[in-house]
Structure 1
Amino acid sequence: MYAKCSDMCSAQKVFDDMHERNLVTWNTMVVGYLQNKCYCQACLVIREVFREGLVTPDQVSFSSALSASANMGGLEFGRQLHGVILKHDLVGLAYVKNSLMDMYSKCGSSNDVVKLFHVLMDRDVVTWNVMMMGCVYNNGYEEACSYFKRMMCGGIVPDEASFSTILHACSCLSTLVQGAIFHDQILKCGIGNNNCIRSSIITMYTKCGNLHDAYKVFEDIENPNIVCWSAMISAFQQHGYADHVIEYFEKMVQNGIFPDYITLVSVLSACSHSGKVELGFKYFNAMTELYGIIPGNEHFACMVDLLGRAGQLHEAKCFIQSMPIKPDSTVWGALLGACRKYGNLEIGREAAEKLFALEPNNSGNYILLSNMYSRMGLPKEADEIRRLMGLSMVRKEIGCSWIDVKDKTFVFTSHDRSHLMSVEIYKMLARLEELVKKRGYVARTEFATNNSVEEYKERNLWYHSERLALACGLLILPDGAPIRIKKNLRTCGDCHTVLKLASEIFEREIVVRDVNRFHRFFNGKCSCGDYW
């Protein structure tokens, strides 16, 4: 009772006063600490069980201890538990074997997971789910899809957890065709009415750039819960529809559903990307006053971004200084991004120095500050930052864009000529350049990161990876079909202008998913309203 009421101090007190303890008593303490996220204490209790030797642990003892070890990243302790499990000959029990695989996955020991998986002959749906979840946890999204297909071929019927996991993998891979196939299988299995599954489907379509189908799934839900509402609100936010975020947030509250931590991140981010400073502070203050949610670094980062995008850089810096928690990289990153936009080197340098300490291997922070120096006419300082990158052994991430056509993915880097249709792609680029210039396009060479003369800077802009992907899409995809491009870095301002003009010239919907958000270009406009 005390454990389930989150009062482990009282639970421990009752436990300490007991003269006789059986296996159920010990398991209650292990499970109690586990459920209350006191993982170290859970492991200490199981150690005490082994030390006293008065009771013999069972599958509940071991599976709970393994879960605690997994959640605190205790690989060495997990290995010790594995050894004891083998001695007790319990490794064949479902709870134990699945907990072992989960522990090795969360502790980053993929080889041990694979070995254990292949040794186990009796694999149920939970075993396959744990394997797929482990792949997703360690960014092995394609491997997760492969295991799902093997599970289906083996005659194992997937459950809600299976589909939620595989939809998450599709979201991360941004594979719309594959995700739609899994959606079809969900409907055939008759579990399409599960709200957990529906929220995963919404997220999958959202991250694959198909907001229309995400919205259709949401509209079909009779009584959406907080997870479904949050998924839809997040979808609008990621695609730049700030007004829809606010509208649906208010609808959710009117329906008697209180927001959670994640919902308010989306709402504050929407306020930030639409310049609604007063409304943003209204929602931020309501977090604790109305909803009882303690703001975290994500919420503070949104508020810094809100002030920074509005040009209130000094106010944003003061806001950081007044934070009740230590600001993390997301907070300082929001400030540095705002300084880049408004060219404030003084505050930008301070934010960058904080980031260098917090994220010493993140090349983006170095590049951002270096580009700021270059645009301010300070090439020596820019070179010094790049020299610092070299001394710190930090390498710049190579920018690339990719586009899916049926079951094939075409990847492009800047100046890429590896594609079989490179000649046609570059001809299409030349045609696009001619057409946009007739519409008044003037190259914004400040987005060229090299130090060459102005003419070469403009030429280099035309060979950015997203433009090559766009040209490929215009050539290969049917007329009128949406062009969906993914990019591993932030799209530059000059490419943003070209993509807007291209959507109007070719009368095409162009969706670009960059590292921060989605941009939906249609009829010469972008969903971000040029405020991103």
Structure 2
Amino acid sequence: MGFGGLVIASTALIDMYCCCGMWSVGREVFDRVCDRDVICWNTMVAGYVKNGNFFSAKELFDEMPERNVSSWNTVVDMYGKCGEVGLARSLFDEMPARDVISWNAMVSGYVKDGECDAARGLFDEMPKRNVVSWNGSDVKPNEVTVVAVLPACGHLGALDLGQWIHSYIRRNRVKMDVYVNTALIDMYGKCGSVEDARRVFDNAEMKDTFLCSTMIEVLAMHGKADEAFGVFDYMRRAGIKPSDITFVGLLKACSHVGLVEIGVEYFEMMSKDFELVPKVEHYGCLVDLLGRAGHLEKAYETIKSMPMEPHPIVWGTLLSACRIHCNVKLAEEVALHLIELEPQNCGHYVLLSNIYSKAGRWNEAAKLRKIMKEKGVMKKPGCSSIEVDNSVYEFFAGDCVHPRRKEIYETLDKIITRLKAEGYSPKTSSALHDVDIDEKEQTLLYHSEKLAAAFGLLNTNHKAPIRIVKNLRICDDCHVFMKMVSKYFGRSLIIRDCNRFHHFSDGSCSCCDYW
């Protein structure tokens, strides 16, 4: 029909082929276009990115005779999505001009790569640097930016920054759509402020499946099962259809408080009432529910009856339950299977070693640690972080490098002395090495969450709760320690470990010692 010579028609054709996965045919069309403009070049680069051909995308980008901000954005976003965040940042810094999409792509890249501090810092620069875009307008964070950066706040437990972003949203009238509200609920939940999460949920004008499911997940990790069930009841009344994610949250809520029968009912309800086929995540939650409650054989049978291949995480869940209930025989069987599946995963070795140690079988524990050393498997160190005055501070077990180490250790020694006077006796069963009692107590004393708590007592207002994020499960001794600190120092502590939240207040914990 004579349109083949028109660059706009050829560009649309390139886009069509690339969207259909036929990037090589798209490239043939591109090569035939004589008077390519920057949009045509951008379309071909973006087409390569869509199809995962990142090398060709960067090669073509380097050949471009002319680039606009969209050209740069495409490649920055590409590097962010494929985990090359360093290359993304290099290109971002080279850009002659940026728009809000450039900043959003870079922030998203950092979050996806787990570099939450960098994401937070970049967001913080946007309104401060008076940044001007390629067309001369101010670059300000929009709803896409806040949805990208809020997960970083949640990951770090950076509540102060999350609250600042929330107030920024209000002040600048950023559109409070369902995505922004969901991101806020998730952030507040992961930062330990379930009340703020609930407030955002209640005030949201539009509620969909994803927003309600996020609220259920938040309530579950804080051990508020009844409230999670209430949100599910609201969904049913409002005609909001639950998804498989909804039931993951409900099953977790049951697991954290030991509601086995109700959890099984929810599991069966998925297929019976909503025609949802349980996935591996749901079976994992069911195994966790049964295992925590001590029904280890039922949990084992559940794994063996799964209609799909059990994921190592599901087996790991059963191994954790074996540790809680000191079932060494089953633990050995499960751990050996896991080590066969994932020989370089330190968690499997450590869990079995801890189970041996707890049972007083020191020789087996030592042999396992020797095998780890021979295989080059490194144990993941305990790490706790705390936010003070908009900065996040990290502590490792036995930390010797913190600039205020002396002050922190002196404070911790005073806390221990006071607590011992009130009856605190270190739970040396949590020190899983065959050493004398004094050495065990010394090891327990400098766990990362204790150091973070001492730092919090030193540097926060006496009325403010101390919020700590820990990468591993809190040990029995630290759990007792935090309960006593909350009682005898009059401070509430909120600790997020790898499983759930613990709210310590006046000598008790929200988990009711079931975790």
TM-score range, shorter chain: 0.7 to 0.9
**1:388 matched to 2:387:** no
Letter in 1 for 2:68: G
Change (3 A) 1:89 1:290: farther
Structure 1 position 270, deviation (Å): 1.1
In the alignment, structure 1 residue 131 sits paired with structure 2 residue 106: yes
**Structure 1 unpaired stretches of 5+:** 1-20, 34-41
Per-residue CA distance 1:337-381 (angstroms, 9 max, x = gap): 001111112221222223223433332221111111122222111
1:132-158 deviations in whole A, cap 9, x for unaligned?
Answer: 111111122222223323433213022
Which residue does 1:185 correspond to in 2? 168
Alignment of 1:28-427 (within 5 A): 28=16, 30-31=18-19, 33=20, 42=21, 45-51=22-28, 56=33, 58=40, 61-62=43-44, 65-69=47-51, 74=52, 77-84=53-60, 87=63, 89=65, 91-92=67-68, 94=70, 96-152=71-127, 153=129, 154=131, 155-191=138-174, 193-416=176-399, 425-426=408-409
| Residue pair 2:491, 2:505 contacting (<8 A) in 1 also | yes
Cα deviation for residue 488 of structure 1 reads 2.1
Output the aligned Cα RMSD: 2.6
Q: Distance in 1 between matches of 2:68 and 2:61?
A: 10
Question: In structure 1, the residue corresponding to 2:513 is in which secondary structure?
Answer: coil
Distance 1:147 1:465, change over 3 A: closer
- In the other structure, the counterpart of 2:445 is 462
In the alignment, does 2:512 pair up with 1:529? yes
Aligned to 1:518: 501
Asked if structure 2 preserves the Cα contact closer than 8 Å seen for 1:436 and 1:502, the reply is yes
Q: Is the 8 A contact 1:241 1:527 kept in 2?
A: no
Q: How many Å apart are 1:429 and its aligned residue?
A: 3.7
Q: CA deviation at 1:262?
A: 2.2
1:493 to 476, 481, 494: 476
**CA distance in 2 between partners of 1:398 and 1:54 (Å):** 54
SS of structure 1 residue aligned to 2:207: coil
User: SS in structure 2 opposite 1:158?
Assistant: coil
Give the match's secondary structure for 2:481: helix
> CA shift at 1:197, angstroms?
0.9
**1:478 maps onto 2:461 in alignment:** yes
Moved more, 359-368 or 381-390: 359-368
Q: Deviations over 1:250-279 (max 9, x none)?
A: 222222112223222111111111111121
User: Equivalents in 2 of 1:140, 1:185: separation in Å?
Assistant: 22
**2:285 aligned partner, one-letter code:** C
With over 3 angstroms needed to count, the CA separation of the structure-2 counterparts of 1:224 and 1:146, relative to structure 1, is: same
Deviation at 1:66, TM superposition (A): 3.5
AA aligned to 1:269 is K
Residues 67, 102 of structure 1: 8 Å contact kept: no
Does the CA contact (< 8 Å) of 2:471 and 2:498 recur in 1?
yes
- Structure 1 residue 284 displacement after superposition: 1.3
What is the CA-CA distance between 1:59 and the residue it aligns to? 5.8
* Equivalent position amino acid for 1:48 in 2: V
Any residues of structure 2 matched to 1:427-466 within 5 Å, and which?
Answer: 428-437=411-420, 440-466=423-449
Correspondence for 2:134: none
Of the structure 1 ranges 54-63 and 79-88, higher mean CA displacement relative to structure 2 is found in: 54-63
* 8 Å contact kept, 1:192–1:198: no
**Residues 18 and 48 in structure 2, CA contact (< 8 A), matched pair in contact too:** no
Q: Confirm or deny: 8 A CA contact 2:158 2:390 kept in the other structure.
A: no
The AA in structure 2 aligned to 1:228 is L
Change (3 A) 1:86 1:241: same
Moved more, 145-154 or 231-240: 145-154
Q: Using CA pairs below 8 Å that are at least 6 residues apart, which structure has the higher relative contact order? A: 2
Question: What is the CA deviation profile of residues 91-137 of structure 1, one whole-angstrom value per residue up to 9, with x for unaligned ones?
Answer: 5362x443322222222223432343234323221122111111111
Question: TM-score, length-normalised on structure 1?
Answer: 0.85
Change (3 A) 1:68 1:358: farther
Q: Distance in 1 between matches of 2:443 and 2:63?
A: 65
Unaligned segments of structure 2, at least 5 residues: 1-8, 132-137
State the AA in 1 paired with 2:26: V
Higher mean alpha-carbon deviation, 254-263 vs 333-342, is at 254-263
Return the alpha-carbon distance in structure 2 between the equivalents of residues 25 and 93 of structure 1: 23
Q: Helix, strand or coil for the counterpart of 1:290?
A: helix
Give the residue type in structure 1 aligned to 2:280.
N
Cα offset, 1:320, TM superposition: 0.7
Secondary structure of the corresponding residue to residue 480 of structure 1: coil
Asked if the contact 1:62/1:85 (under 8 Å) is kept, the reply is: no
TM-score scaled by length of structure 2 = 0.88
Asked if the contact 1:504–1:524 (Cα under 8 Å) also holds between the matched residues in 2, the reply is yes
Contact residue 59 and residue 93 of structure 1 kept, 8 A:
no
Q: Distance in 2 between matches of 1:459 and 1:118?
A: 48
| CA–CA distance in structure 2, aligned partners of residues 420 and 147 of structure 1 | 26
The letter of the residue matching 1:129 is N
- How many Å apart are 1:236 and its aligned residue? 1.1
Counterpart-to-counterpart distance in 1, 2:124 and 2:485: 39
Q: Which amino acid aligns with 1:522?
A: S
Q: Is the 8 A contact 1:66 1:103 kept in 2?
A: no
More divergent stretch after superposition (110-119 vs 218-227):
110-119
Deviation at 1:431, TM superposition (A): 4.6
DSSP-derived class of the 1:443 partner: coil
Task: Give identity over the alignment, percent.
Answer: 36
Change (3 A) 1:159 1:437: same
Larger CA deviation: 440-449 vs 369-378: 440-449
Q: CA deviation at 1:419?
A: 5.2
- Does the 8 Å CA contact 2:486/2:504 hold for their aligned counterparts? yes
